[in-house]
A and B are shown apart, each in its own frame.
Chain A
Amino acid sequence: MRKVNDVILRTVVKGVVLIILTLGVYLFFSGHNAPGGGFIGGLVLGSAIVLLYITYDIETIQRKMPFDFKKVAALGVLLATGTAIGSLYFNVPFLSQTDGYFNIPILGEKHLTTVTIFEAGVALTVIGTLVTIILSISEDD
């Protein structure tokens, strides 16, 4: 196979991936009150990972990120259902959420919610599923 000269792609992606990841994290945290949330944040984060896979080869990325993305997805589902079922312990209806304002040193007063944990589960599931789909398509050529 002829070696493709993709120095422009590689250089651009190095910068762009950082921007996409930041956007993904921003979208994730802005969710549940503004547009955003676990699903869309997860999609954006997942697309950054896919972009890395496309630019560099699969082996390189696998060495740097040694995750089994099927297990990432499973972990996400477990996290989301875990927070949902946690309601049973506190004797409130299933899927109940709670929030509160906490004073954290350095960061100041922050609004923390249990729904963020749920959204983290959703995000992990989306990332895991997305990357698994792309990887399995790319494997059988």
Chain B
Amino acid sequence: MNNLIVLPLIIPIMTAVILVFLRRNIILQRIISILTMIFITGISIMILSAVQTEGIIKLDFGGWLPPFGILFVADSFSMLLVVVANIVTIICLIYAFSTIGARHEQMFFYPFVLLLIAGVNGSFLTGDIFNLFVCFEVMLLASYVLIALGGERVQLRESLKYVLINVVTSWIFLVALAYLYGTLKTLNMAHIAERVAEVGQDPLITTVAILFLIVFSIKAGLLLFFWLPGSYIVPPTAVQALFAALLTKVGVYALIRTFTLMFPLNQDVTHTLIGIMAGLTIVLGCMGALAGKDVYTIATYNVIIGVGFILIGLASGTEAALSGAIYYLIHDMLAKGLLFLLVGTMVYLTGETIVKRMSGLIQNYPLFGWIFFVVLLTLTGIPPFSGFVGKILIGQGAIEAGSYVLLAIGFASSIVVLYSLLRIFLASFFGETTVSEEDKKPIPKGVMVSFILFTISIIYLGVGAESLSVYVQDAAHTLINPSIYIDAILGEGV
């Protein structure tokens, strides 16, 4: 039954509300939230495999047929991201259990994580652009709370900036929606795509498209990332990892969806613009990563480089490039989540954030050290790990599209990523340890479990890329041929 595809949105919301009533019972809150996430992940995997046999699944809310009602659409692209987002949330929750502290847990931490994931899942699944705005807001409201929860001085300053930037962006989003509705008289994504194809993408529609580009760029951290390095480092580690893994990626998803489905016709303008922005993002991100002296700055600029790299795939726009972008998006969600957890744990263990002041971590925590090394390799794109497949496909796509400059920038950024992380590895993990065997803080078991789960997923994504390729190819095929999506929503005859 199609109703299944609304569950990734509605189950977390209902569970979050139930958890409000269990405010004092922390153990029960933990059990319920983790079980909910596992349940949803299972459902999402079921839907993903159903999409392979039945094609795109849609659900018209309340039976209102498109283009009049709101609907949810599950295609391979959105379901892949839903599955990965839920897995990342499970692992971050496991990390949070042993690190977040009772104060957060009593102040509705778990309900807000569930609301965040509900917004993220909703954004991936919706087939109506106004509904996308609503799901963005659900996600953002939860993230406002999560970023400010704790009430430290620096959190207050950064969360104020974060809220202001996002409120202004949401306003621009709303204005763009109004223009879009004014020109095309519809908000259903498939219907918009059809109307744009009918009337052609004239300058007015292209302008509206660029407005959407600005909005999603701010959310994704594409060129307009000025707010990101400051605000991503203030919340607790588990929240940082969730933000780094999910929030920018929702923006990237929205960009890919908008410019492959709705506004694909005037590629000279839009895709060139995306290409230039992606290139600049990578260059600036590299500068930040090279200049950074503390682990947080280096990690956040690595997020920015990742976003730029994925969007090279969109700018190139061939089928290989898009499947590369999807691979890399999945890889980036897992790898950035793990990177932030590792960095947060380093700071927890040493009490320092500056790279040079840490030393010899690998002697006290060998497994921890080698997991960091795995992340380093996977973010650089060394073959057995997950970054490789995405990089090679995006590279192939860029060559097909003839964008050699982007290709050069993209692969040069790999070296910078390698250098910036290797610097942390050499300075902080190697060398003489400053802490004696007796004084060292133990790493909680839950933390190690979450690291190991992340590492397993990364290795699986790299080694088992073949088993995922069916889904990724189907996703890229749908993106490159929007008519499949449109026909599935509106039916052949409309």
- A complexed with B: yes
Bound form: Cα–Cα A55–B61 in Å: 44
Within 8 A of B (CB), among A115-139: none
User: Which stretch, B6-14, B126-134, B383-391, B397-405, touches the partner chain A?
Assistant: B6-14
B13, A96: Cβ atoms under 8 Å?
Answer: no
The 8 closest A-B pairs by CB, nearest first: A95-B62, A74-B20, A95-B61, A94-B6, A77-B17, A93-B63, A74-B17, A88-B3
B3, A94: Cβ atoms under 8 Å?
Answer: yes
Q: What residues of chain B lie closer than 8 Å to A71, measured between beta carbons? A: 20-21
Interface string of A77-99 (1 = CB under 8 A from B): 11001101101100111111100
B59 interface residue (CB < 8 Å to A): yes
A87, B17: Cβ atoms under 8 Å?
Answer: no
Q: What residues of chain A lie closer than 8 Å to B3, measured between beta carbons? A: 87-88, 91, 93-94
Q: Known: A93-B60, A95-B62. Is A84-B10 also a contact (CB below 8 A)?
A: yes
Closest to B2 in A: A93
Q: Known: A92-B63, A93-B60, A96-B63. Is A78-B18 also a contact (CB below 8 A)?
A: yes
Which among B1, B10, B59 is the interface contact of A85 at CB below 8 angstroms? Answer: B10
Interface residues on B, range: 10 to 19
Shortest Cβ distance from residue B287 to the other chain A in the assembled complex, whole angstroms:
43
B59, A94: Cβ atoms under 8 Å?
Answer: yes
Shortest Cβ distance from residue A62 to the other chain B in the assembled complex, whole angstroms:
19
A81, B13: Cβ atoms under 8 Å?
Answer: yes
Q: What residues of chain B lie closer than 8 Å to A70, measured between beta carbons? A: 20
Closest to B70 in A: A95
Q: What residues of chain B lie closer than 8 Å to A87, measured between beta carbons? A: 3
Q: What residues of chain A lie closer than 8 Å to B20, measured between beta carbons? A: 70-71, 74
Closest to A89 in B: B3
Shortest Cβ distance from residue A27 to the other chain B in the assembled complex, whole angstroms:
23
Closest to A85 in B: B10
Q: What residues of chain A lie closer than 8 Å to B60, measured between beta carbons? A: 93
Closest to A91 in B: B1
Bound form: Cα–Cα A80–B108 in Å: 21
Q: What residues of chain A lie closer than 8 Å to B18, measured between beta carbons? A: 78
Within 8 A of A (CB), among B247-306: none
Shortest Cβ distance from residue B188 to the other chain A in the assembled complex, whole angstroms:
16
Closest to B13 in A: A81
A97, B17: Cβ atoms under 8 Å?
Answer: no
Within 8 A of A (CB), among B32-72: 59-63
Interface string of A93-121 (1 = CB under 8 A from B): 11111000000000000000000000000
B61, A94: Cβ atoms under 8 Å?
Answer: yes
B17, A93: Cβ atoms under 8 Å?
Answer: no
Shortest Cβ distance from residue B174 to the other chain A in the assembled complex, whole angstroms:
19
Within 8 A of B (CB), among A33-88: 70-71, 74, 77-78, 81-82, 84-85, 87-88
Q: Known: A85-B10, A88-B3. Is A93-B21 also a contact (CB below 8 A)?
A: no
B63, A81: Cβ atoms under 8 Å?
Answer: no
Shortest Cβ distance from residue A25 to the other chain B in the assembled complex, whole angstroms:
25
Bound form: Cα–Cα A93–B3 in Å: 6
Q: What residues of chain B lie closer than 8 Å to A95, measured between beta carbons? A: 61-62
A81, B62: Cβ atoms under 8 Å?
Answer: no
Bound form: Cα–Cα A87–B1 in Å: 12
Which among A74, A82, A85, A96 is the interface contact of B62 at CB below 8 angstroms? Answer: A96
6 contacts between A and B (CB under 8 A): A77-B13, A87-B3, A93-B2, A93-B3, A94-B10, A94-B59
- Beyond A74-B17, A82-B14, A96-B62, 18 additional pairs, beta carbon < 8 A: A74-B20, A77-B13, A78-B14, A81-B10, A81-B13, A81-B14, A81-B17, A84-B10, A87-B3, A88-B1, A91-B1, A93-B2, A93-B3, A93-B60, A94-B61, A94-B62, A95-B61, A97-B62
Bound form: Cα–Cα A78–B20 in Å: 11
Q: What residues of chain B lie closer than 8 Å to A77, measured between beta carbons? A: 13, 17
Shortest Cβ distance from residue A63 to the other chain B in the assembled complex, whole angstroms:
23
Q: What residues of chain A lie closer than 8 Å to B14, measured between beta carbons? A: 78, 81-82, 85
Q: What residues of chain A lie closer than 8 Å to B1, measured between beta carbons? A: 88, 91
Closest to B111 in A: A74
Shortest Cβ distance from residue B488 to the other chain A in the assembled complex, whole angstroms:
16
Bound form: Cα–Cα A74–B60 in Å: 26
Shortest Cβ distance from residue B372 to the other chain A in the assembled complex, whole angstroms:
41
Interface string of B106-120 (1 = CB under 8 A from A): 000000000000000
Closest to A78 in B: B17
Bound form: Cα–Cα A78–B18 in Å: 8
Bound form: Cα–Cα A81–B12 in Å: 11
Closest to B19 in A: A74
Shortest Cβ distance from residue A75 to the other chain B in the assembled complex, whole angstroms:
8
Closest to A97 in B: B62
Q: What residues of chain A lie closer than 8 Å to B61, measured between beta carbons? A: 93-95
Bound form: Cα–Cα A84–B10 in Å: 9
Bound form: Cα–Cα A88–B3 in Å: 7
Of B3, B6, B60, B61, the most chain A CB neighbours within 10 A belong to B3
Shortest Cβ distance from residue B492 to the other chain A in the assembled complex, whole angstroms:
21
Shortest Cβ distance from residue B357 to the other chain A in the assembled complex, whole angstroms:
39
Shortest Cβ distance from residue A46 to the other chain B in the assembled complex, whole angstroms:
19
Bound form: Cα–Cα A84–B62 in Å: 9
Bound form: Cα–Cα A92–B20 in Å: 29
Shortest Cβ distance from residue B14 to the other chain A in the assembled complex, whole angstroms:
5
Shortest Cβ distance from residue B23 to the other chain A in the assembled complex, whole angstroms:
9
Bound form: Cα–Cα A81–B118 in Å: 13
Q: What residues of chain B lie closer than 8 Å to A97, measured between beta carbons? A: 62
Bound form: Cα–Cα A45–B16 in Å: 26
